[in-house]
Amino acid sequence: MPINRRGGLTARQFRFCLEYPKDRDGGKALIRAGYNTSGANARAIASHLLRKPEIRDEIAKHTEAVAATQLVTVERVVKELVILGFFDPKDYFTWDKYGDLTIKASSELPPGASRAISEIVCDSRTTPDGSTVNKIKIKFHSKNDALGKLGDFLGMFKRRVELTDPEGRNPLTAALEEMWNKINGNGGMQDDKSAQNGKEIQVGVQMGESPRLLPGQPGIINISE
């Protein structure tokens, strides 16, 4: 198989690196790159390729080159998300107290406002009396999606998952300790030898440790090490 000079990749691997950024679909990129495969097998091969550092590096280089050519910058992307996330319906329509709605002409829109529109559908129909009724449907890009991406970029929506109770203990460990203490009437380390199926089982409860089941003994919990 011929080797491409760039990064030691084969010709098809290099072509895959060029195709992948187009739609980020590994299976489709693999087929466009000339691999004789399809379906689940194509996706599996693409997944294998994408785990290779040299493949990822080449894809990153190509993606950066395309972005530079098209003048795609972080600032430009953020500005576009701001337009989508903060558009005002009053920039596009006027309405009165009687419910009459008027769509503004495109020439009346503020600069850049039209970019928040994802689809315009015009439909005309003739009524029984012979008159023509025009219907226009305007669909906007999702404000929630745009605002979510902006928030993620700015780090506004980081959430902390609290895994401890107010005293800093693991909740499961604390619950087991409380149950054990009620059974024994005290706290701290308690050992008990219990008979089950004729065998003696050591059950330990140690403050602050995470519980685990004893091998081969379902339902018997050992918290001590």
Q: Which of 120, 151, 182 is the last residue of a domain?
A: 151
pLDDT at residue number 162: 56
Answer whether residue 2 is part of any domain: no
Percentage of the chain beyond pLDDT 90 is 27
- Flag whether pLDDT at 208 surpasses 60: no
CA geometry: angle 93, 96, 97, nearest 5 deg: 140
In a shared domain, residues 98 and 144:
yes
What is the tally of structural domains in the chain? 3
Answer whether residue 15 is part of any domain: yes
Q: Mapping DSSP to helix (H, G, I), strand (E, B) and coil, where does residue 125 land?
A: strand
In a shared domain, residues 140 and 88:
yes
In a shared domain, residues 102 and 146:
yes
In a shared domain, residues 58 and 114:
no
Please provide the average confidence, as pLDDT, over all residues in the chain: 76
pLDDT at residue number 209: 47
Phi and psi, residue 147, nearest 5°: -65, -35
Q: Which of 151, 181, 204 is the last residue of a domain?
A: 151
Gap between the Cα atoms of 117 and 141, Å rounded: 6
pLDDT at residue number 212: 47
Answer whether residue 206 is part of any domain: yes
In a shared domain, residues 90 and 147:
yes
| Residue in this structure with the two tokens 């087929």, named with its chain if needed | 31
- The answer to whether the beta carbons of residues 104 and 90 sit under 8 Å apart is no
- Flag whether pLDDT at 140 surpasses 80: yes
Answer whether residue 158 is part of any domain: no
Answer whether residue 145 is part of any domain: yes
- Are β-strands 212-213 and 132-140 bridged in parallel, bridged antiparallel, or unpaired? unpaired
pLDDT for 9-51, tens place per residue?
Answer: 899 999 999 888 888 889 999 999 999 888 888 899 999 999 9
Answer whether residue 166 is part of any domain: no
User: Could you tell me which residues come within 8 angstroms of residue 50 by beta carbon, excluding any fewer than 6 positions away?
Assistant: 20, 26, 56, 59
Q: Which of 101, 119, 151 is the last residue of a domain?
A: 151
Gap between the Cα atoms of 130 and 167, Å rounded: 78
Max avg pLDDT among 71-80, 81-90, 207-216: 81-90
Answer whether residue 56 is part of any domain: yes
Answer whether residue 76 is part of any domain: no
Q: Which residue has the higher pLDDT, 46 or 209?
A: 46
Boundaries of domain holding 64: 11-69
Angle, helices 11-23 vs 53-69, to 10°: value is 50
150 closest CA partner among 98, 75, 205: 75
Give the number of other CB atoms < 10 A from CB of residue 56.
14
In a shared domain, residues 132 and 100:
yes
In a shared domain, residues 88 and 145:
yes
pTM above threshold 0.85 = no
pLDDT for 190-207, tens place per residue?
Answer: 444 444 444 444 444 444
User: Could you tell me which residues come within 8 angstroms of residue 90 by beta carbon, excluding any fewer than 6 positions away?
Assistant: none
